Chain A
């Protein structure tokens, strides 16, 4: 009976432990192992050292997926902070219709990425889509949206006779279209986080600012912004990590095999998916997985470090 008592706590965690070990820990470790192996549709062919990594660092299509991902993150994250912060400032305090606004803004968050993508694909349709319908009604020229491989800087500057190429051409309009959807989908979630952050700022700070004669902008600049920095930093890191993993939007809106017009929406996770499940190149796909993991881990560590040191906590 005594030994029975001793194993009881372990018995309680056993069901969860079995699942975690079999379907998380083992595959995670296998991912690292496979990144050093030649593993394809025919199975395991032995270890190959850093060959998969060497291949990765010289693979132009891999670097294309990295730059697409970086463009995506650089577009989505700032917009995903600025818009929700503005909305949270508007929604703060007593307000008529607050609950209704919150419902509306939050709606895209609970809607599946696939359904959202199907709907936006139709909105962006170059021929008959509603967005081009609005643009032409206002006298503008219709755009190709999800089918446009040209970079947006190139599109904007070419009428002036300037033709930037490569990275300077900017993300394709197709990728920018995906960014718009991604921002739209995450606005509600980030707004809720900012609202919670704003509620945590003690009212006394605002009263003090008022006594000092601070204006609206001054109050925001010297009270709200610094005291909100933990939330802002959290949103920044979390949306960066989430944007790095975008998959469903790319898969549904710019469907395989392409990854968008001329591969301009092919992001890291999509490329990894293609290597693993179209080619069954598990070894190489694992090397890409490890790369992704290292990037995301670095971001998490930065969050911990900077978060604790630099960010102002009230």
Chain B
């Protein structure tokens, strides 16, 4: 029994070292030769500050959009009864079955027709709603007892007031899950911004890092420094929210 426990620990430790190794190599290489100066050098060689601000802007605005549109839609789908509701919900769900690469080219053509290519609109507007978030929130709203709604209405609460003052405050955990999934999703999204923007001033972090990688392919120290600071914000978020995040992933069984 005892030796079994030790073997377990040895195996897990060895696995953990293998999993961590790329990160350790990344950090140690980023500090070679120039030390912390490498970080300053990487940050200033291309406008990483702009990339960060763009990513921050896109991530926060899409998140606000997702929270507003999802709460409203989930409230309607989950608590109201009206003709066509289930068909509309099915229309929403059906789009989840189609992966992004399948409609990437027509999306680009559409954005070109709208004159949105290479604008913030293209980076933000199409992602201001998220069907999976609507789905999660709808499932939760459906569990709220009807008596709660009736009581609130008797107290003079409006329909919207119930959503804002009663339903949403009771959904903090689901909303945290939605926020985490969407922040990670937009922060890491690559294919879409790569396709819909061209100019450097609109570049987001992931696209900027990939260009930096092509331009500086032999400058390992700078590349590893840039990788480190582009990972850092989500890493910090992960360390703070990991319990909730891991639980959300295992409950919902869905990857970005």
Q: Which residues of B contact A87 (CB under 8 A)?
A: 12, 15
In the complex the two chains form, is A20's CB within 8 Å of B129's CB? yes
Can you name the residue of chain A whose Cβ is closest to the Cβ of B241?
A110
Q: Closest chain B residue to A108 by CB distance?
A: B19
Cα A13 to Cα B97 in complex, Å, equals: 20
Interchain CB contact (< 8 A) of A111 among B81, B105, B214, B231: B231
Q: Which of B70, B75, B97 contacts A300 (CB 8 A)?
A: B97
**Shortest CB–CB separation between residue A236 and chain B, in angstroms?**
13
Q: Does A79 contact B (CB under 8 A)?
A: no
Specify the main secondary structure of chain A where it touches its partner. Answer: helix
Known contacts A13-B77, A30-B106, A107 near B238 by CB under 8 Å: yes
Question: Interface with B: A115-123, A167-175, A206-214, which one?
Answer: A115-123
Measured CB to CB, the closest approach of chain A to B89, in angstroms, equals 9
Interface size for B (C-beta < 8 A) is: 84
Residue A184 interfacial (CB < 8 Å): yes
Which residues of B are found within 8 Å of A95, using beta-carbon distances? 8, 12
Complex interface: chain A residues within 8 A of B194 (CB): 251
Q: Contacts A9-B85, A110-B234, A118-B223 given; indicate if A104 touches B20 (C-beta within 8 A).
A: yes
Q: Which residue of B lies closest to A284 (CB)?
A: B105
How far is it, in angstroms, between the C-alpha of A252 and the C-alpha of B73 when the chains are bound?
37
Binary CB contact string for chain A from 179 to 209 against chain B (1 if under 8 A, 0 otherwise): 0000010011100110110000000000000
**Cα distance, A39 to B106, chains bound together (Å):** 11
Assess whether B108 is in contact with A276, with CB atoms less than 8 Å apart. yes
Chain B residues lying within 8 Å of A31, measured Cβ to Cβ, are 102-103, 105-106
Closest A residue to B81 by CB, please name it: A9
Asked if A286 CB lies within 8 Å of chain B CBs, one says: yes
Q: Are B109 and A24 in contact (CB under 8 A)?
A: no
A17 to B76, CA, bound (A): 12
Answer whether residue A73 sits at the interface, using C-beta atoms and an 8 A cutoff: no
Bitwise interface map of A from 105 to 148 toward B, beta carbon under 8 Å scored 1, else 0: 11111111111111111110100101000000000000000000
Are B110 and A26 closer than 8 Å at their CB atoms?
yes
Interface of chain A residues 52 through 104 with chain B (CB within 8 A): 87, 90-91, 95-97, 100-104
Binding site for A on B (CB under 8 A): 8-9, 11-12, 15-16, 19-20, 22-23, 25-26, 29, 68-70, 72-73, 75-77, 80-82, 85, 88, 91-92, 95, 97-110, 125-126, 128-129, 131, 134, 159, 184, 187-188, 190-191, 194-195, 205-206, 209-210, 213-214, 217, 220, 223-224, 226-227, 230-231, 234-235, 237-239, 242, 245-246, 249-251, 253, 255
A-B contact pairs, 6 of them (CB 8 A): A17-B92, A19-B128, A34-B109, A106-B246, A234-B253, A245-B99
- Complex A-B, nearest 9 residue pairs according to Cβ-Cβ distance, in ascending order: A12-B76, A30-B106, A23-B126, A24-B95, A27-B103, A16-B73, A112-B188, A276-B105, A196-B250
